[in-house]
A and B are shown apart, each in its own frame.
Chain A
Amino acid sequence: EPEVTQTPSHQVTQMGQEVILRCVPISNHLYFYWYRQILGQKVEFLVSFYNNEISEKSEIFDDQFSVERPDGSNFTLKIRSTKLEDSAMYFCASSKNTGELFFGEGSRLTVL
């Protein structure tokens, strides 16, 4: 069964460093999303992406964040200068106009 894959599964970084989280959505999906979950808290929407552009973003998704689909298969989330409060599990999801979002296993980011 096709699935969304995310790398790395865990990344530890120093505050102020740039981080890129990678996602390979399901191949025939058209809509892509990033969510985050701070430890013990709810899953929060960050951004949605369709037709090579951001379709919606939340208040969390400030200028420190960016997304890109560089090569038609990967979907990346970049955090330019990480802060302690960016420590969280980041989930990528994709969908194919069926209304069902398929989530990856997540990338745990730890900012020291």
Chain B
Amino acid sequence: AQSVTQPDIHITVSEGASLELRCNYSYGATPYLFWYVQSPGQGLQLLLKYFSGDTLVQGIKGFEAEFKRSQSSFNLRKPSVHWSDAAEYFCAVGASRDDKIIFGKGTRLHILP
């Protein structure tokens, strides 16, 4: 069964600084990987996904993520964060198209002015 680990519960960065949120997955075959963002009291919005092909994927809001099979990682990055990026970020993994996806525990991002 697949699982996801997000080792950082909270991360604080200054506005304008770069960001990297870590995600490690466990799954035997090639996983389907996702990053979702949740603002307080809101639903889950898909930032980006990886199914196959180019291991560097671009998403919305200036985010990107890189799939590294050798490290079982799918880290999320943004070169310059904005105050509006403060939210909870969830990495998720699926076994196949339209299979359930399993979420990590999330990383709460705080932005310093």
Contact = CB atoms under 8 A, between A and B. Distances in A.
Nearest to A47: B100
Contacts of B43: 91, 103-106
> How big is the B interface, by class?
20 to 34
A87 B113 CA distance: 35
B102 A45 contact: yes
A99 B106 contact: no
Interface residues of A, number: 24
Contacts of B17: none
A112 interface: no
A13 interface: no
Given A43-B90, A91-B44, A98 B97 contact: yes
Given A105-B42, A105-B43, A99 B104 contact: no
Most buried by A among B97, B100, B102: B100
Interface in B57-106: 90, 94, 96-106
Dominant SS among interface residues on chain A: strand
Contact of A99 (B32, B45, B102): B32
A31 interface: yes
Contacts of B45: 103
A102 B34 CA distance: 12
Contacts of A98: 97-98
Interface of B: 32, 34, 36, 42-46, 49, 51, 90, 94, 96-106
5 contacts: A30-B98, A44-B103, A50-B98, A103-B44, A106-B42
Interface of A: 30-31, 33, 35, 41-45, 48, 50, 56, 91, 95, 97-106
